Structure 1
Amino acid sequence: MTSTGNAHAIAAFIESMASRPLPSGVLNAARMCLADWTAVTVGAHDQAAGRLARDMTRHWNANGLAPVFQAGTAAPVVSALVNGTFAHCLDFDDTHVGSLSHLSGPTWAAVLALASERQRPEERVLRAFIAGFEVGARIGGRLFGETVNRRGFHATSVFGKFAATAAACALLDLRGPAIAHAMGIAATQGAGLVASFGTMGKPLHAGKAAMDGVMAAQLAAEGFLANPDLLEPAGEGFADVLLQDRSLGIAKLDFDDGWEILNNTFKPYAACLMTHPAIEAAREIGTRLAPVRITKVQARVNPMALRFASKTELIEPLDGKFSIAFCIALGLHGRDVSQADFNAQSIRDTALRQLMTRIELIADPAVGATSATLNAIDEAGNDVSSHIPLASGNPGRPMTWAQMENKFMSLARPVLGDKAAATFAIFETFGDDTGLPALTAALTEGARSA
């Protein structure tokens, strides 16, 4: 293992997280990540991708103490795969914009699996999650995650895998060389494809990242060896394979320059994150113009919004989450753009379909990833514009605990019933060793009240 490179920096940071002082804001952010993760996991109870992954793993007969959503307990790899897949089914989970990754989905799935199996105290659970989040975010930082996505590899499957691995290493008490080999094992397991967006393959990326992270740490704990230097800035490593023109690579990692978890974004809308600024602009215009009278809409968005959310043929509800035109139409009609708005009836709605045909999408490199500008004209010639410089839920316009509670209850109450409020109460104080048993009970017993 290199003595001064990224492998050493990652290992040293993970080891230090056992006692490193954690600001209250960092702990609060980790707890909010857990609340969001639970909300979107439980809310996805009826999603085929999660159910099929769960049904498939039953044939493994892999027993253990790790919670499996609505299916009791099993081995940690099963728990990580199933819960990680459910967590990304709705595409409503939080996003670290710096790495363009949904890090909480795979990381919390891996953490809860191993923490339950190994009966770890809640403070260690929080510390392991934060360690994983920071590692994944930094590996994907400085435009590496964004560039990976542009080249067709799903950043969540890449950096979520590293985050899950780092968190698992922390929970398994791995030390320097073993951590480096675990990260090498994770690196050699590849990446999911952006071409899978809008299919069951996308949430599987998060579940597989969680599973791969657990497996990588477990293999390293047994003495399994891999190339420990795949994440270095120089040399023929992981970055050179993904970006073969070597236009960008993994930066030299520094874990003493703040906390990336404070740069996380929570989604107020149940669609691809790149649609959110346009949704907010549309909702604002919808309060000033009657949507049925609108004759033309121009939407200036970041080019990545069209790369990831340009679907026009809507067959399944999931397609709507990756159609910026559909999301704009929902916003203009005053919809909340919540999970309830993505169903078979809404994607066939004649008024929404007609409005979609009047929307012109313009990819403008000058528009930031968290901003959008919409202009709408109605049949009377009224001309209304809305510019959103920073979509809500981003750092700078963060989601509050009250807003998170609303999101949680909208997703969890239909599944957990009367237990939903008590489950949400776990999160703000998670760490006192009373929350984890209650949370795992809510996850594993969800089917009884669904």
Structure 2
Amino acid sequence: MPQNAVEATEALASAVVKGRFEDLPADAVAAVKASILDGIGVAMAGSVEPLGKTITAYVRDLGGHPQATVLGSGFRTSPPDAALANGAMIHALDYDDSLQIFSFHFTSFLLPTVLALGEQRGISGQQAITAFAYGLEAAVAVFRAATSRLDYDRGWHRTATVGTLAAAAAGAKVLELDVQQTRIALGIAASQAAGIRQNFGTMTKPLHSGLTARNGVTAAMLAQRGWTADPGVLEGPLGFCKVFFGDGNYDLADLHASLSRPFHYVSSIRIKKFSACGQAARPIEAMLALAKEHDIRPEQVERIECGINPSVMNILVHSNPRTGLEGKFSAEFCLAIALLGRKVVLDDFTDARVNEPAVQSLMRKVRKYADPEVPHHGGKGPTVTVITADGRKLCRRIDMEEDQPWPAPTERERIGKYRDCAKRVLNERNIQDALELTQNLEKLQDVRQLVAAISA
């Protein structure tokens, strides 16, 4: 254990407390605003899904004190319950952004946390950006301490484990807690961290995001009220890192190193183009390119092969999906719809689409296999090979720089995605108002103005 390991929780809490909007680099501010806009859009789309309707009805029945808005429906409830519903809806379609180098979806819990407590307190746009940014910074610092992916490979969902610490940090920032209170909030959050990958492809995966946001809000609110917890929860012998990462699989010196160069990872943040697991993005891009370049028709296909990172075999787990949710974690389905439609859109991921005879027939021709030369993220891309009935062998892969998960969408594509998602709930005026307010969020005096625009 490094000499300064015992100071890890205090160092993390201090970085969160001392962080100012003025300290944020321009690219970090831009990235946060882009993520917030994307989160608003996918929340609107998620709110009309069966998951969104169910979690909204559940929270409404709880009857919490009306202080924070449930997106998509506009009613208000307690901050923890609003965060629960909004987090689940943002992640409902698996269309929200991610930091793929660490395999987690940060907006799905940071935005609900910041909005729930921010609406209650009437914080400014700058405060909202700052809380979001330093919540993310906290998560990255903890991730950097891990020296392996053992936690993920064992089945932990990092959005719900490390994410709970990050949500607590963001909540602490909104509530303007001091260093000791923030350490306590992290301690409370650590005892609520949970979520297993066995539930990928079900409604419970998005529930992880809602629970993460709710638990972060709860941790910050309890810490503000004098609740107690271990103030050294990261470095303790029975603490977070020992429990989740395991002996010999973390080095807290790397946490300190990460905090010494804040926001170094911003270029790796990705907004999704497709409503599927991020690990399917480059295979989809490769198939779309092949279909366009060679004008491949489904009836010409003898078989399709896709070589992916060995650990991703346990992420894209549904080889024979029967629901739209399972389809999001199916290389077979994603490649089939990419070839059939020459595009992949939000409405492809439905139970009806998965069970179409043409889709089922083409899926049976797809074989994924483990390719140890393909890294988990960045670098060499998965190779998609189409073998045609006349003997042609057509190959394509999408390579990226290290730590770059898939091609970034253009600004036009990002805004188009936001509009397409938001129109499922909001009228055009509210869509435009929310767009302009988010693009100028640092000038907003009260975040409630943005909440009002997306609640109409």
The interval holding the TM-score normalised by the smaller chain is over 0.9
Where 1:369 maps in the other structure, the secondary structure is coil
Give distance in 1, aligned partners of 2:5 and 2:279: 39
Q: Indicate if the aligned counterparts of 2:127 and 2:174 stay in contact, CA closer than 8 A.
A: yes
Moved over 6 A (4+): none
Residue 195 of structure 2: aligned partner: 192
Residue 311 of structure 1 and its aligned partner are, at CA, apart by 0.5
CA contact (8 A) 1:298 1:360 kept: yes
User: What residue is the counterpart of 2:79 in the other structure?
Assistant: 76
Structure 1's unaligned 5+ residue stretches are 446-450
Give the stretch that moved more between structures: 337-346 or 320-329.
337-346
Match for 2:201: what amino acid? G
Q: 1:433 aligns with which of 414, 424, 444?
A: 444
2:91 is aligned to 88
Shift of 1:4: 6.0
Which string of whole-angstrom CA distances, capped at 9 and with x for unpartnered residues, describes residues 24-55 of structure 1? 11110000010111111011122222322222
Question: Does the aligned pair in 2 maintain the 1:84–1:106 contact within 8 Å?
Answer: yes
Question: What is the one-letter code of the residue matched to 1:256?
Answer: S
TM-score by length of 1: 0.93
* CA deviation vs aligned residue, 1:262-313 (integer Å, no higher than 9, x gap): 4211111110011111111111111212222110111111123321112133
The CA distance in 2 between the partners of 1:320 and 1:344, in whole Å, is: 8
- Partner of 2:382 in structure 1? 372
**Greater Cα offset, 72-81 or 49-58:** 49-58
Aligned to 2:210: 207
Q: Hey, what does 2:171 align to over in structure 1?
A: 168
Compare 234-243 and 190-199 and name the one that shifted more.
234-243
Q: What is the match of residue 271 of structure 1?
A: 276
Give the conservation status (yes or no) of the 8 Å contact 2:16–2:134.
Answer: yes
Match of 1:268, SS? Answer: coil
Q: Superposition pairs for residues 224-243 of structure 1, below 5 Å?
A: 224-232=227-235, 235-243=237-245
On the 8 A contact 1:65/1:76 being kept in 2, the answer is: yes
How much does 1:129 deviate?
0.6
2:107 to 85, 90, 104: 104
Structure 1 residue 143, shift from structure 2 partner: 5.2
Question: Which residue of 2 is the match for residue 256 of structure 1?
Answer: 260
Question: For the Cα contact (< 8 Å) 1:92–1:271, is it kept in 2?
Answer: yes
CA 1:19–1:322: 2 relative to 1, 3 Å? closer
One-letter amino acid of the structure 1 residue matched with residue 155 of structure 2: G
Distance 2:309 2:278 in 1: 12
Contact preservation (8 Å) 1:376, 1:385: yes
Instruction: Give the superposition deviation at 1:243.
Output: 4.0
Which residue of structure 1 lines up, in the alignment, with residue 421 of structure 2?
411
Percentage of identical aligned residues: 27
Give the structure-2-normalised TM-score: 0.91
Q: Distance in 2 between matches of 1:342 and 1:157?
A: 24
* Cα 1:146/1:399, change in 2 over 3 Å: farther
Within the candidate set 58, 61, 74, 1:59 is matched to: 61
Instruction: Choose 138-147 or 322-331, whichever is displaced more.
Output: 138-147
Q: CA deviation at 1:409?
A: 1.2
Distance 1:230 1:278, change over 3 A: same
Q: 1:261 to 1:210 in 2, by over 3 A?
A: farther
Comparing 192-201 and 61-70, the one that deviates more: 61-70
Q: Is residue 422 of structure 1 aligned with residue 433 of structure 2?
A: yes
Matches within 5 A, 1:294-305: 294-305=301-312
Question: Please, which of 148, 151, 154 is the counterpart of residue 154 of structure 2?
Answer: 151
Structure 2 CA distance, aligned partners of 1:100 and 1:368?
Answer: 13
Shift of 1:437: 3.4
Task: Tell me the amino acid that sits aligned with residue 70 of structure 2.
Answer: V
1:345 Cα offset (Å): 2.7
Residue 259 of structure 2 aligns to a residue whose secondary structure is: coil
User: How far apart are residue 411 of structure 1 and its match?
Assistant: 1.0
